[in-house]
């Protein structure tokens, strides 16, 4: 499992210990120097910055190259999640049920997180409200809510048992997002047509997959990049020392 932090220091091949903040200050220089020679790499299942550095450069001490070339600050969010981590994230982010209203008593109807809703016999606690999609997310359900139930503020038109499977937005196969008010949300709630519905899970999968394409320095250039890093850090140290003396 990836951690949500990067190392505070990196030990170079000569034993020199460099603070990661100094290395990050070098990332723009590194990217510009290797702009033309950089290669695209597709992250595979099980890849981590450390394992990839070892695979590409025969040493995990070069993981800083992966971080800098791709501006990775937090590996947990900037690196694609492994399958188990992905489903754990989905479960923690999209929990409970999603209720969609076919009718609302008022266009200004609002639901407060933590409030309790009821249909007269069943109760549930509100965890989220999306006015654009008329989507109310609830948890701690006691009893049974059903389609056509009136909860006082509106009539439920559709219930999705797992919020991860509820619509997040509407999108064409070409990736163009659609205005839900132009018939799409009504068709979805009614169950007439949901061909353009993009679920919460699909949305998160797309984001996760977009992180799989990264830039790497060709394997034979790792030591050269390290030498360039050392020269830049030494130059910075000399500049700082001269300014202190002044």
pLDDT-based confidence at residue 145 (cuts at 50, 70, 90): very high
The reply to whether the predicted model has a pTM over 0.75 is yes
Asked whether the beta carbons of 59 and 13 are under 8 A apart, the reply is yes
Asked whether the beta carbons of 125 and 140 are under 8 A apart, the reply is yes
Q: What is the pLDDT of residues 17-34, one digit of tens each?
A: 888 888 888 888 888 999
Task: List, in order, residues 6 or more apart from 35 with CB less than 8 Å away.
Answer: none
Asked whether the beta carbons of 69 and 225 are under 8 A apart, the reply is no
Cα separation of 235 and 175, whole Å? 47
Q: What is the pLDDT of residues 159-194, one digit of tens each?
A: 999 999 999 999 999 999 999 999 999 999 999 889
At 68, list the tokens.
């800098």
Q: What percent of the chain has pLDDT over 90?
A: 68
């Amino acid at each position: 499992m990836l951690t949500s932090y990067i190392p505070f220091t990196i030990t170079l091949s000569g034993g020199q210990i460099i603070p990661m903040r100094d290395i990050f200050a070098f990332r723009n220089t590194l990217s510009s120097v290797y702009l033309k020679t950089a290669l695209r790499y597709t992250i595979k299942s099980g890849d981590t910055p450390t394992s990839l550095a070892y695979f590409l450069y025969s040493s995990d001490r070069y993981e800083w190259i992966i971080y800098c070339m791709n501006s990775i600050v937090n590996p947990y969010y900037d690196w694609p999640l492994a399958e188990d981590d992905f489903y754990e994230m989905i479960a923690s982010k999209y929990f409970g049920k999603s209720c969609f209203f076919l009718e609302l008593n008022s266009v200004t109807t609002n639901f407060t997180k933590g409030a309790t809703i009821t249909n007269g016999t069943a109760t549930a606690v509100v965890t989220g409200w999306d006015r654009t999609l008329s989507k109310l997310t609830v948890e701690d359900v006691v009893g049974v809510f059903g389609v056509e139930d009136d909860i006082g503020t509106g009539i439920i038109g559709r219930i999705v048992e797992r919020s991860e499977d509820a619509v997040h937005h509407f999108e064409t196969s070409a990736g163009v997002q659609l205005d839900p008010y132009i018939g799409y949300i009504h068709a979805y709630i009614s169950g007439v047509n949901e061909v353009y519905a993009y679920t919460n899970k699909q949305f998160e999968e797309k984001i996760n997959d977009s992180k799989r394409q990264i830039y790497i320095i060709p394997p034979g250039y790792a030591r050269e990049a390290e030498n360039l890093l050392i020269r830049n850090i030494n130059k910075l140290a000399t500049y700082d020392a001269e300014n202190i003396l002044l």
